[in-house]
Structure 1
């Protein structure tokens, strides 16, 4: 299963992605975490020393070739993970999209193509769960970078700009062949927050698959540069993400 997470910057994608990846790995599943953000932070959220993520984990453009039917990997998936993956806590492997090394380099077209090709080839590994932390941008949908995802989780905070971002992302995702698109409500502080997300989903024909409450423990974990799962394993936020992991594990895709 290939799960991508999208949303406005600061909505909580990376924290949820990292926690989801590790909790899923604890069930015995093989998990590949893919940092599809050119400003990568997923490794730190997983608990991997930032010094280890560069340059080994970054996927070079040479890993992909362009064909008439789209981008394709030039090496087998297993070789890619062995060469460019980093092992993380709970057995999660991490790979990162290519990032700019200098100013004025130009676009990241090849980096996006590499992630797209990896997700395409992961379709032949249904037992592997890929968790993709996307950029805070509609570009990975407009480019079709995550067109091969099975599930797209739109992370929504209960305020206008975050919900407006989710609305735009949902409209773009409807033009791709993603089997399941759903909202995860994050940073809920009150019943009013919960109602705002519920009303939004109903108005736009979206389903809400999870609710993660606001927690000072999440803020403190980030300030301490510690993974949420290590800093507050019994907290309400981790519990809510665990429920989301269970729901995804029970999902039957056509």
Structure 2
């Protein structure tokens, strides 16, 4: 299951995504967590020391390795130089699975111990000095998109991505890569503005979207969110002394999280699991190809000097039982 947390800056999406990741780990399901926000805070929210989180390997820095591994023996991709962030898998491509070992996880993931289990954490990486003034953050997130395009995940295993703030996710097709998108919204006009953008952009792509109300302090806040987002409001989260304690650098057992907030996380888990029933691998593959062709025509062909439309394998459909070629 591929889950995204989105919302405006400061809405609490990193906090909510870290709580959801902790909840999943406590239920003993395999989890890969990905920090794809320009502000890299997910590691610290999961209990890592700031120095440890800052030392996480950047996926963007390992893009050549990622491309080389995923390309496999796909004859439609003659070299990694012609792979872009939207390049779809085809016959001969290597695919990723959540619980396996592979060179990408070896290079990019680190194991984070939690109270009741562990998660693999990957991070896109922050801007470097060389990036300033010459690169946009989407070049970093492209490594995540490429991995999601090659991921075959099943029920009961999770990739949870803490996304960039606001509507930046729509600068690529990555917003279509998820089984469920949780939009964290405060009970304010600015808080629901991002929801309206997401609702408008996703409605033509069948992207499941649920709103998680955060910083909800009373009946008036709840009524406001219900009036603004309607049936898309899944659950609300209120003040948490547990979160405040952890954010001060004082570790506390996850079992002590308030009961109301634990129930909210269970509601997210139930909604995510239910979305599996609507998974459509053919549509997923079709959308992948759609955005690849758009990117190829817009900039990819010119950048690589190749016809990237030729990378599309018309007979290939990504699905849970797709076989991965074994290395020679």
TM class by shorter-chain length?
Answer: 0.7 to 0.9
Contact 2:216 2:237 in 1 (8 A): yes
TM-score, length basis structure 2: 0.68
Change (3 A) 1:242 1:68: closer
Structure-2 separation of matches of 1:107 and 1:252: 33
State whether structure 2 residue 272 is matched by structure 1 residue 248.
yes
Structure-1 separation of matches of 2:200 and 2:242: 33
TM-score, length basis structure 1: 0.86
Residue 213 of structure 1, aligned match among 238, 243, 247? 238
Q: Which residue of 1 aligns with 2:324?
A: none
Superposed, which structure 2 residues align to 1:119-198 within 5 Å?
119-122=148-151, 124-127=152-155, 128-178=157-207, 180-198=208-226
Q: Which residue of 1 aligns with 2:29?
A: 29
Change (3 A) 1:75 1:85: farther
Q: Which residue of 2 aligns with 1:17?
A: 17
Change (3 A) 1:228 1:37: farther
Secondary structure, counterpart of 2:175 in structure 1: coil
Shift of residue 252 of structure 1? Answer: 3.2
Structure-2 separation of matches of 1:56 and 1:67: 25
Shift of residue 129 of structure 1? Answer: 0.2
Structure-2 separation of matches of 1:225 and 1:119: 32
Structure-1 separation of matches of 2:196 and 2:33: 25
User: Please, which moves more after superposition, 169-178 or 81-90?
Assistant: 169-178
List alignment gaps of at least 5 residues for structure 2.
68-79, 279-328
Give the aligned length. Answer: 248
Q: Which residue of 1 aligns with 2:107?
A: 83
State whether structure 2 residue 87 is matched by structure 1 residue 71.
yes
Change (3 A) 1:193 1:126: same
Superposed, which structure 2 residues align to 1:49-64 within 5 Å?
49-59=49-59, 60=61, 61-62=63-64, 63-64=66-67
Change (3 A) 1:219 1:162: same
Contact 1:217 1:235 in 2 (8 A): no
State whether structure 2 residue 111 is matched by structure 1 residue 95.
no
Structure-2 separation of matches of 1:19 and 1:134: 15
| CA RMSD, 1 decimal | 2.6
Contact 2:85 2:145 in 1 (8 A): no
Q: Which has the larger strand fraction?
A: 1
Structure-1 separation of matches of 2:180 and 2:251: 24
Q: Which residue of 2 aligns with 1:115?
A: 144
Change (3 A) 1:12 1:232: farther
Shift of residue 194 of structure 1? Answer: 0.9
